[in-house]
Chain A
Amino acid sequence: MSSRAFDKGLARCFSCGKLCQLSVQQHQASCCPRCDSPVSFRQSASLSYSWALTLAALALLVPANMLPILTVVSFGQGDPDTIMSGVIKLWEAELQAIAAVVFIASVAVPVAKLVVMLLLMLVVQLKLPLSKEQCTLLYRFIHFIGRWSMLDLFMISILVTVVHMGNIANVESGPAALAFGAVVVLTMLAADYFDPRLLWDLEHE
């Protein structure tokens, strides 16, 4: 059986990647000789933080999708759009490619991230016998795609500034924008806190 660094009392420094000798009892309080960061075998309280952040993001996903995110007022008329109704409008305006991009960034990515985070945490928590290779691939995938959810917020910041013409046309952000921003940040932090080595530790039990 292949051996872990943990079994030899070696911990990889989170900041610089150096292997540091730690005794198994001494989980923290030791510092990396190269960069002086605290070193521990695993990200401390990884699961608790990931659960808290993921559940908070899950709760905020509801207002982010139900409340209006953007209101386009043109000649005094206009109705507020939620994320999904904005995508549908783009699709109906024959802008299918843009509708797909916005849908992926604002709907598919946040939902996929939350589903994958819940799955990974359940695998570790309940010791589910899933393929560790595939779980690790999912973990890398959500790490990679997470940032693209910011697309909607950047677009809002551009639109509200450019289309700001008194009573002719105006774009205003809605309350969902803040909730959506919180979902993006919380899911990014949740993925950062999750330690994928906890998945592989199951193979050694």
Chain B
Amino acid sequence: MTDSLSPHRESLLACPDCDLLLRVDAVPLDRECHCPRCDALVQDGGHYAIDLHLAAAFSGLVLFVPAVTAPVLRFTMVGQWGSNSLLGGVWHLWTQGEQILSLLVLLCSVVAPFFHLLLSFGIALTLRLSRLPNNFPAWLKWHRHMQGWSMLEVYTLGIIVAYVKMLDDGDVFVGSGTYCVAGVLLCLIICNQCFREDVAWRQWEQRK
């Protein structure tokens, strides 16, 4: 009994939400598996499309610089105009004396999405080449933190709301930055859909 419960065998998993011990040796590694008690996702399903992950992360990184620097919205009112970009908005908040707020917006709209993409790229590339660096576990941990704080989808909704809000008072134009943000967002969504963290951890374990 104790032998079969040895944690070195992947025959057992614990539910992350209710700690139920699950025997999974009969479940194939690519089959989605839910906790019978609380329905938490215990094992992700499907096959890890590593090339798609790599391509999406790379495209996201290429689009990233225009996405944060190009104008997102442009507003004209009686001959005057103003525009914003992701970084411009952060900088403006900073100069207005809202330093803490500007750092928070910077983290969620620029820093976290960037590192999310960069780490995705690094993880997919090293897995693809089967040459995992020694700090690969740290990459995976930071990847997860960055995933939690990357809120580009919320920012995109913010662009839409701001656009509709300003329509009443003047002319609003959608800048090229918006299209780049949408592109980066799409890449981030593809990355999240493709990535299988458990596969990455298993690869790391086997390499050791």
Which of A58-66, A113-121, A173-181 lies at the interface with chain B? A173-181
Tally of chain B residues near chain A (CB < 8 A): 65
Contact A35:B73 (CB < 8 A) given known A158-B162, A164-B92, A173-B93: no
Tally of chain A residues near chain B (CB < 8 A): 65
Contact A90:B165 (CB < 8 A) given known A35-B140, A133-B38, A158-B72: yes
Choose one: B20, B75, B140, B154; the contact of A162 (CB below 8 Å). B75
Q: Is B158 an interface residue (CB 8 A)?
A: yes
Tell me if A148 and B20 are in contact (CB < 8 A).
Answer: no
Binary contact readout A90-113 vs B (1 if CB under 8 angstroms, 0 otherwise): 100101001001100100000000
Q: Is A8 an interface residue (CB 8 A)?
A: yes
A95 to B7, CA, bound (A): 57
Interface residues of B in 136-187 (CB under 8 A from A): 137, 140-141, 144, 148, 151, 154-155, 157-159, 161-162, 164-166, 168-170
Tell me if A101 and B17 are in contact (CB < 8 A).
Answer: no
Contact A153:B161 (CB < 8 A) given known A15-B141, A163-B82, A165-B80: no
B55 to chain A, nearest CB (A): 26
Tell me if A19 and B12 are in contact (CB < 8 A).
Answer: yes
Tell me if B84 and A136 are in contact (CB < 8 A).
Answer: no
B148 to chain A, nearest CB (A): 8
Known: A35-B201, A37-B141, A158-B73. 15 other contacts (CB 8 A): A2-B21, A15-B141, A35-B137, A35-B140, A90-B165, A95-B165, A98-B164, A157-B109, A158-B89, A159-B165, A161-B82, A161-B92, A162-B75, A165-B81, A200-B17
7 nearest A-B residue pairs (beta carbon) = A154-B158, A5-B14, A161-B84, A157-B89, A200-B18, A35-B137, A12-B14
